Amino acid sequence: MNPRRRNWLLSGLAAIAVALLAAPVAAHPLISFIHAFTMVTQGVATAPGAGFEANDQNPYGVAVVPKSIGNLVKGDILVSNFNNGGNLQGTGSSIVQYSPNVQSQTTFAEINAKTLPGDCPGGVGLTTALVVLRTGWVIVGSLPTTDGTIGTVGAGCLIVLNSKGVPVETFSGGVINGPWDMTATDNGASVTLYFTNVLNGDVASAHADTLVEAGTVVRMQLFIPPLGLKPPIASQPIVIGSGFSEENDPVALIIGPTGVGLGRNDTLYVADTVKSRIAAISNASTRFLSAGTGKTVSSGDNLNMPLGLAIAPNHDILTVNAGNGNIVETTPSGTQFTNTSANPIGNGPDDGSGELFGLVVAPGGAGIYFVDDDENQLNLLN
Q: Is residue 181 part of a domain?
A: yes
Q: Is residue 3 part of a domain?
A: no
Q: State the first-to-last Cα distance of the chain, in angstroms, to the nearest integer.
A: 64
Whole-prediction pTM: 0.89
In the chain, the percentage of residues whose pLDDT exceeds 70 is 86
Q: Is residue 271 part of a domain?
A: yes
Instruction: Please give the average per-residue pLDDT across 167-171, as a whole number.
Output: 98
Q: Are 356 and 330 within 8 A, CB to CB? A: no
Q: Which one has a higher pLDDT value, 103 or 165?
A: 165
33-73 per-position pLDDT tens digit: 998 898 888 877 543 333 444 478 899 999 999 999 999 99
Q: Is residue 18 part of a domain?
A: no
Instruction: Please give the average per-residue pLDDT across 181-189, as a whole number.
Output: 97
Instruction: Please give the average per-residue pLDDT across 335-341, as a whole number.
Output: 82
Q: Is residue 15 part of a domain?
A: no
Looking at residue 152, which CATH number applies to its domain? 2.120.10.30
Other CB atoms within 10 Å distance of the CB of residue 67: 15
- DSSP codes of every residue in 226-253: GGG-S--EE---EEEEEEEEEEEETTTE
298-316 per-position pLDDT tens digit: 999 999 999 999 999 999 9
Query: Which alpha helices (DSSP H) does the chain contain, by range?
Result: 3-22
- Show the domain range for 113: 43-381
Determine the pLDDT at residue 130: 98
Q: For residue 352, which of 304, 317, 284, 312 has the smallest C-alpha distance? A: 304
Q: Are 79 and 52 within 8 A, CB to CB? A: yes
Instruction: Please give the average per-residue pLDDT across 82-101, as a whole number.
Output: 93
Q: How confident is the model at residue 28 (pLDDT cuts 50, 70, 90)?
A: very low
Q: Is residue 179 part of a domain?
A: yes
Q: What are phi and psi of 99, to 5 degrees?
A: -110, 105
Q: How confident is the model at residue 104 (pLDDT cuts 50, 70, 90)?
A: confident
Q: Are 155 and 233 within 8 A, CB to CB? A: no
Report the SS3 class of residue 314.
coil
Q: Are 329 and 321 within 8 A, CB to CB? A: no
Instruction: Please give the average per-residue pLDDT across 205-218, as a whole number.
Output: 94
Q: Is residue 20 part of a domain?
A: no
130-151 per-position pLDDT tens digit: 999 999 999 999 999 999 999 9
Instruction: Please give the average per-residue pLDDT across 254-258, as a whole number.
Output: 97
Strand partners, 213: 245
| Domain tally, the chain | 1
Q: Is residue 192 part of a domain?
A: yes
Determine the pLDDT at residue 327: 92
Determine the pLDDT at residue 29: 47
Strand partners, 121: none
